[in-house]
Amino acid sequence: MTIISVENLKKRFNLEAGFFARFGRFVYAVNGVSFSINENESYGLVGESGCGKTTTARLLVRMYRHDEGSIIWRAGNDVAALTGRALKNYREKVKYVFQDPARSLNPRMTVYEVLTAGYRWSPSWPGHAEARREAAAILEETGLSARDLERRPVEFSGGQRQRISIARGLIMKPELLICDEVVSALDVSVQGQILNLLLDLKSRHRLSLLFIAHDLKVASYFCDRIGVMYRGELVEEAPADNLYQTGRHPYTELLFRSARAGHFAAKNAAREGGAGEAEIIRGEAATALAEITGCFFAGRCPRAEEICRREHPLWRTLPSGNGTAHRVRCHRIDD
C-alpha cells in the first residue's frame, strides 16, 4: 500500500541577490520529481550536493510549499490543501530527522525538553507524567537510557546526539520518517550502528522511511528502492539490492564509480595533476540555474548525442528481477 505519492513536484527559489544572481533569478531546486513510498518501505533519494534532496523533503513536510505538482498522503489527502487540525495531524505522521544533530538540538534544553518540545503543542499531548514515560521508553529504544532525559545535548557524542534526534522524530509515533543525511557527519563505525538502529526501528514500528544520502553505497545497503536524483529530477529508480549491477543511467554509473574511487581520487588527481573521477563529479553545479530543454545530464555525459541535447528524455521502464519497476530517464539505453 502506498503511503505517500509525489507527482511532478517542482520548487524554484527566487534569487535577487547573492552568488547565483549573475546566472538569472531562479534556482530550480526541484524540477519535476515523481515517486511513491509504500508502507514499511525504505526509499532512498540519492544524488550529489545541491541536487534538491533536502528541498524535496522539506516540501513533503510542508516547510515549503511546492510551485507545481502534487503530494498525496494515503490515497486521497492532498497535502497542499491541508489546514488546521488536519495539517497538524499530517505533521505528526510525517517526521523529519535533520542532517546535523549538533545544530538542530537546542543546547539549552534538556533531552526531555528536546524530545517533547513539539509534542507539547500536539492534540495528542498526554501530560508531563505520561510524556516522561514515553520519552524514557523511546530513548531506551534508541540505545540511550532514561537517566539521559535530564542531561543536555552537549554532553553526548555525535552518534548519541543522532540517537536523540531519532527519538525526537519518533516520539509522536509517525508513519513516515524522513532521514536526511543522518549518518554523513558520523565516523564509519558509528554510521553502521545508526543504520542498524534505523532498520530495527523500521521493522518494530512498521515505519516507512525516506532515506536521503549522497552516498549511493550506504543507500544501497539500507534501502529497498532507490531514486537517483540529478539537477532536481529523478533519472533512475530501481530496487536497491543490486543497483550496482543493474544501474543503467550514466549518472548512476558515475556515482558508483566515484564512490569506489572514493578517497583515492583526490590523491590521484593531485599526483597526476589532472581531474580524477571525483573532480569530474564536482566539476559542475548540481543545481539547474536555467530551464534546460534536453537531458539535464547531457553536458557531463560521456554517451551524449545530439538528441540528448535536444529532447528531454521520458521514463523508460526496464524489466527487473523481482517485479518492482526499474525505470530510467535516458535516450541512450536499449532495453
Residues making contact with ligand ATP (CB under 6 A): 13, 27, 29, 49-55, 214, 287
Q: Which three cell numbers stand for residue 39?
A: 508502507
Identify which of residues 54 and 165 has a Cβ nearer to Mg ion in the complex.
54
- In the list ligand ATP, Mg ion, none, the entry touching 55 (Cβ below 5 to 8 angstroms by class) is ligand ATP
CA–CA distance, 42 with 40 (Å, rounded to integer):
7
221: helix, strand or coil: helix
Which among 178, 175, 176, 146 has a CA at the least distance from the CA of 165? 178
45: helix, strand or coil: strand
DSSP structure string for 41-80? -EEEEE--TTSSHHHHHHHHTTSS--SEEEEEETTTEEGG
Identify which of residues 232 and 250 has a Cβ nearer to ligand ATP in the complex.
232
Q: Which residue is nearest to Mg ion (CB)?
A: 54
Instruction: Check: CB of residue 95 under 8 Å from CB of residue 170.
Output: yes
CA–CA distance, 28 with 15 (Å, rounded to integer):
10
- In the list Mg ion, ligand ATP, none, the entry touching 178 (Cβ below 5 to 8 angstroms by class) is none
Q: Which three cell numbers stand for residue 253?
A: 554509473
Report the interface residues with Mg ion, using CB under 5 A. Answer: 54
Q: Which three cell numbers stand for residue 269?
A: 588527481
Identify which of residues 139 and 166 has a Cβ nearer to Mg ion in the complex.
166
CA–CA distance, 289 with 322 (Å, rounded to integer):
38
- In the list Mg ion, ligand ATP, none, the entry touching 51 (Cβ below 5 to 8 angstroms by class) is ligand ATP
Which among 3, 85, 19 has a CA at the least distance from the CA of 287? 19
CB of 206 to ligand ATP, least distance (A): 27
CB of 55 to Mg ion, least distance (A): 8
CB of 50 to ligand ATP, least distance (A): 4
Identify which of residues 52 and 247 has a Cβ nearer to ligand ATP in the complex.
52
CB of 255 to ligand ATP, least distance (A): 13
Identify which of residues 53 and 163 has a Cβ nearer to ligand ATP in the complex.
53
- In the list ligand ATP, Mg ion, none, the entry touching 171 (Cβ below 5 to 8 angstroms by class) is none
Identify which of residues 112 and 230 has a Cβ nearer to ligand ATP in the complex.
230
Number of other residues whose CB lies within 10 A of the CB of residue 250: 23
CB of 173 to ligand ATP, least distance (A): 27
CA–CA distance, 77 with 86 (Å, rounded to integer):
10
CB of 53 to Mg ion, least distance (A): 5
